[in-house]
Chain A
């Protein structure tokens, strides 16, 4: 009976410890997932801001090109040739 009692006590202790470990692991896993979602939000915001900057720069550049093309159409023609390389198109 003493042997059985000792074994029973040991198993009960193990079960309690395993439950505690499992609970802690789940809690930390939840924390990691929350952290991941927070990081994703930060990434979205960071790149959305950068995208806005690029779009603004794009609009500014469009205006600049329109202004330049009025006084100097050859410069625009040259720029198009440089960017698209139509000479190698055929």
Chain B
């Protein structure tokens, strides 16, 4: 491996080490009474304190953001449900219309069939009634005669 490449790798390693060291450096430390704090407590770095203050200041904005996102998601969800229900209503109305239309056509056809075959059998009914009546009279006469 050439020296320039080794040097390059070493520099990359050094950079990575320095970044991780700064990331791992402690921003918060526990301090005990008299050492050198007047009471037991915590020692925060300026950066840590600034982060706490900044986070607290932005608390409301972050909360509003979360609420806004949740609201928008719910609106989208309920919009979908409403759209699907509208679709179902529209579909049912169309089904009803087509069924009614088909039924009307069926009725028209049945009317035509009925009119083409009029119930013109009065003589059969009359004859049948006469036969039944006569048979009944004869039957009664025979039974009573005995």
Chain A residues with a Cβ under 8 A of chain B: 2-3, 6-7, 9-11, 13-14, 17-18, 21-22, 24-25, 28-29, 32-33, 35-36, 39-40, 43, 46-47, 50-51, 54, 57-58, 61-66, 69-70, 76, 79-80, 83-84
Contacts and interface: CB of A to CB of B under 8 A. Distances in A.
Classify the secondary structure of A's interface with B: helix
Interface stretch (B3-11, B54-62, B130-138): B54-62
A25 B102 contact: no
Given A36-B77, A43-B72, A29 B113 contact: no
B49 A21 contact: no
Interface in B34-66: 46-47, 49-51, 53-58, 61-62, 65
12 contacts: A2-B113, A6-B106, A7-B110, A9-B106, A10-B102, A14-B99, A21-B98, A36-B77, A43-B73, A54-B58, A61-B54, A65-B54
A65 B84 contact: no
Interface in B67-109: 68-69, 72-73, 76-77, 79-80, 83-84, 87-88, 91, 94-95, 98-99, 102-103, 105-106, 109
A54 B65 contact: yes
Q: Is the interface of B mostly helix, strand, loop or mixed?
A: helix
Nearest to B117: A2
Given A14-B102, A25-B91, A58-B58, A47 B109 contact: no
B110 A3 contact: yes
Given A10-B102, A36-B80, 6 more contacts: A36-B79, A43-B72, A54-B62, A65-B49, A66-B47, A76-B50
A62 B47 contact: yes
A49 B102 CA distance: 56
Contact of A25 (B46, B77, B88, B110): B88
A28 B85 CA distance: 12
Closest A-B pairs by Cβ, 10 of them? A65-B50, A10-B106, A6-B109, A17-B98, A61-B54, A36-B80, A2-B113, A47-B69, A25-B91, A62-B50
Contact of B76 (A40, A47, A50, A80): A40
A61 B104 CA distance: 76
